[in-house]
Amino acid sequence: VTGSASIGRTGSRSQTVVATTGVHSAPERRRSSPLEGTSRLFGPADVLFLVAWGLWIAALLTTSIAHAQGSWGLIPALPWTFYFGVSLLLVSVAIQLGRERLSSIRLGLHLVSLVFMVQGVTPLLYSLEPKYFSQFKAVGETLLISSHGALQSSVDLYQRWPGFFGFTSWLDSIAGLQSPLSYMAWCQVFFDLLFAGAFLFAIRSLPLSPRQRWLSVFLLITGNWVAATWQDTFTPQAPAFALSLLIVGIVLRWLSSGPGELKVDWRTRKGALVVLLLLYVPLVFMHPLSPYIVVLWVVALTLVNRVRPLWLAPLLALLAVGFLIPNLSYINKQYGISKAFGNLENNVLPNAPSLARGGSFLQANLGPNLYAEPIIVGLLIVLGLIGIGIRIRQGKGSILMLALLMAPLIIVLGVTYGNEAITRVWLFSYPWLACFISLALWPDPEFEDGLPAEEWSVLKRLARKENEHRSRVPQALSHVRLVGARWITAAVLIVTAGLSIVLNYSQNEIYQVAPSELRAAVHFYGSAPAGVAYYVDPGFPLSVGARYPSFKGEGGGRYYDLFLVKYPLLELIDPAQVMSAVTRLVCNAERPGSPNGYLVLSNQQEKYAEAFGVFDARFFDQMEQHLRESPDWSPYYLSSTVRIYKIMSHCRR
Q: Cα–chain-centroid distance for residue 161?
A: 19
CB of 368 to other proteins, least distance (A): 35
Nearer to other proteins, 35 or 492 (CB): 35
Cα–Cα–Cα angle for 519, 525, 528, rounded to 5 degrees: 110
* Best CA proximity match to 510, nearest among 186, 228, 132: 132
CB of 176 to other proteins, least distance (A): 4
Mark residues 129-148: x for contact with other proteins by CB under 8 A, - for none.
----------------x---
CB of 28 to other proteins, least distance (A): 9
Interface with other proteins (CB under 8 A), residue total 46
Binding other proteins by CB under 8 A: which of 57, 272, 349, 482?
Answer: 272
Are 561 and 543 spatial neighbours (Cβ–Cβ below 8 Å)? Answer: no
CB of 221 to other proteins, least distance (A): 16
| Angle between helical axes of 421-441 and 210-223 (0-180°, round to 10) | 140
CB of 154 to other proteins, least distance (A): 15
Helix (H, G, I), strand (E, B) or coil at 30: helix
Facing residues of 597 across strands? 532
* Cα-only R_g, the chain: 27
Residue 241's φ and ψ, nearest 5 degrees, are -65, -45
Binding other proteins by CB under 8 A: which of 197, 314, 353, 443?
Answer: 197
How far is it, in rounded angstroms, from Cα 213 to Cα 201? 10
Helix (H, G, I), strand (E, B) or coil at 561: strand
CB of 251 to other proteins, least distance (A): 13
DSSP of 494-557: HHHHHHHHHHHHTTHHHHPPPHHHHHHHHHHHHHSPSEEEEESSS-S-TT-STTGGGG-BTTTT
Contact partners, residue 182, CB within 8 Å, separation at least 6: none
CB of 349 to other proteins, least distance (A): 32
* Best CA proximity match to 227, nearest among 406, 365, 384, 432: 365
Binding other proteins by CB under 8 A: which of 149, 592, 593, 631?
Answer: 149
Nearer to other proteins, 201 or 335 (CB): 201
Q: Which amino acid is at 579?
A: M
How far is it, in rounded angstroms, from Cα 447 to Cα 518? 56
Binding other proteins by CB under 8 A: which of 83, 126, 183, 361?
Answer: 183
**What part of residues 23-52 is at the interface with other proteins (CB under 8 A)?**
27, 31
Q: Which contiguous run of DSSP H or E holds residue 17? A: strand 17-18
Mark residues 154-173: x for contact with other proteins by CB under 8 A, - for none.
--------xxx-xx-xxx-x
Binding other proteins by CB under 8 A: which of 18, 61, 66, 150?
Answer: 150
Nearer to other proteins, 151 or 385 (CB): 151
How far is it, in rounded angstroms, from Cα 109 to Cα 122? 21
| Angle between helical axes of 80-97 and 210-223 (0-180°, round to 10) | 160
Exposure letters 528-562 (e unless 16+ CB within 10 A, then b): beebbbbbbbbbbbbbbbbbbbbbbbeebeebbbb
In this structure, the strands spanning 36-37 and 17-18 are unpaired
Exposure letters 453-468 (e unless 16+ CB within 10 A, then b): bbbbebbbeeeeeeee
Residue 70's φ and ψ, nearest 5 degrees, are 80, -170
Mark residues 306-345: x for contact with other proteins by CB under 8 A, - for none.
----------------------------------------
Helix/strand/coil percentages in the chain, nearest 5: 65, 5, 30
Stretch that binds other proteins, among 47-55, 62-70, 267-275, 395-403 (CB under 8 A): 267-275
Mark residues 338-377: x for contact with other proteins by CB under 8 A, - for none.
----------------------------------------
**What part of residues 527-586 is at the interface with other proteins (CB under 8 A)?**
none
Stretch that binds other proteins, among 264-272, 373-381, 448-456, 516-524 (CB under 8 A): 264-272
Question: Per rule CB under 8 A, is residue 177 in the interface with other proteins?
Answer: yes
**What part of residues 462-481 is at the interface with other proteins (CB under 8 A)?**
none
Nearer to other proteins, 145 or 440 (CB): 145
Question: Per rule CB under 8 A, is residue 278 in the interface with other proteins?
Answer: yes
**What part of residues 199-258 is at the interface with other proteins (CB under 8 A)?**
200-201, 204, 239, 242-243, 246, 249-250, 253-254
CB of 395 to other proteins, least distance (A): 30
Contact partners, residue 600, CB within 8 Å, separation at least 6: 524, 533, 534, 535, 536, 540, 642, 643, 644
Stretch that binds other proteins, among 272-280, 475-483, 506-514, 534-542 (CB under 8 A): 272-280
Nearer to other proteins, 61 or 150 (CB): 150
Question: Per rule CB under 8 A, is residue 114 in the interface with other proteins?
Answer: no
Stretch that binds other proteins, among 279-287, 399-407, 482-490, 511-519 (CB under 8 A): 279-287
* Residues of this chain that bind other proteins (CB under 8 A): 27, 31, 145, 149-151, 162-164, 166-167, 169-171, 173-177, 183, 194, 197-198, 200-201, 204, 239, 242-243, 246, 249-250, 253-254, 264, 268, 271-272, 275, 278-279, 281-283, 285-286
